[in-house]
Amino acid sequence: MIITRQKDFNTILGLLKDKQKIFLVGCGECATTCKTGGQEQIVEMKNKLEAAGKFIAGWVVPDAPCVSAQIKMAMAKNRKLLSESDSILVFACGSGTQSVKENDRSNLDIFSGNDTICAATVDDQGNFKEVCSSCGDCLLDLTEGICPVTRCAKGLMNGPCGGQKDGKCEVDREKDCAWILIYKKKAEKNRVADLKNVIPVRDNKKSLRPHHIIGEKC
């Protein structure tokens, strides 16, 4: 999922300094899980903005505003309220905010209420852990499901650097060395010999931005 952090309220007020009639858009998936753009947070933001003298024309929380069909439908259902707005404040990831912009037929000013942090997993305590860099050249089948691109501070492809100590990273001694974790997983499965196979240099062309993937190919 995509991890977001809600901007400081004073920062949001600064973005809206010349705006008075605002429509709010949240996200029913990632931002809801992060508590940065679910229904509860949208209602709370509505109340705070109104207390600051802003008029909230309306609000909506599509399941996934990054999906064009969903935000189009949400905006169509709220066409009248949007016509009474001078701006849209989006509490989703950057993709969601840009999707709102691309599908806004009213040509309103669009503002992002969230900062997008990373893609991550969520454990059963609700903690977020970044495990993937979306590099476009996945090698998890070679590294026991542990991504060295993301979890090694130096992005090393063929074993640990000389700075790891007692299984901890040279850059951050509080973090486990990704390659020591990979080694331990290999040892558990009697696959240590796999580490003699050199992983080729990554094809960095696969991680060039922006990606543009056509239709069902994604």
pLDDT tens by residue, 163-173 = 999 999 999 99
Percent of the chain whose predicted confidence (pLDDT) is above 90: 78
Q: What is the residue range of 180's domain?
A: 135-210
28 and 108 part of one domain? yes
Tens digit of each residue's pLDDT (9 = 90 or more) over 170-212? 999 999 999 999 999 999 999 999 999 999 887 777 766 665 5
Give mean pLDDT, residues 110-129. 90
User: Is 198 a member of any domain?
Assistant: yes
215 compared with 143, residue with greater pLDDT: 143
- H-assigned helices in 88-195: 94-102, 148-151, 178-188
- In a domain? residue 108: yes
Residue 152 exposure: Cα atoms within 13 Å on the Cβ side: 21
pTM of the model as a whole = 0.82
CATH of the domain at 113: 3.40.50.2300
Residue 73 shares a structural domain with residue 144: no
What is the pLDDT, as a whole number, of residue 218? 46
pLDDT band of 24, cuts 50, 70, 90: very high
Q: Residue 126 falls within a domain, yes or no?
A: no
144 & 102 share domain: no
State whether residue 41 is helix, strand or coil. Answer: helix
Widest CA span in the chain: 66
Which of residues 93, 118, 143 is at a domain's end? 118
Whether the pLDDT of residue 217 is over 60: the answer is no
Q: Give the amino acid at 115.
A: D
Q: Which residues contact 87 (CB under 8 A, 6 or more apart)?
A: 16, 19, 21, 22, 23, 108, 109, 110, 111
Confidence label for 47 from pLDDT (cuts 50, 70 and 90): very high
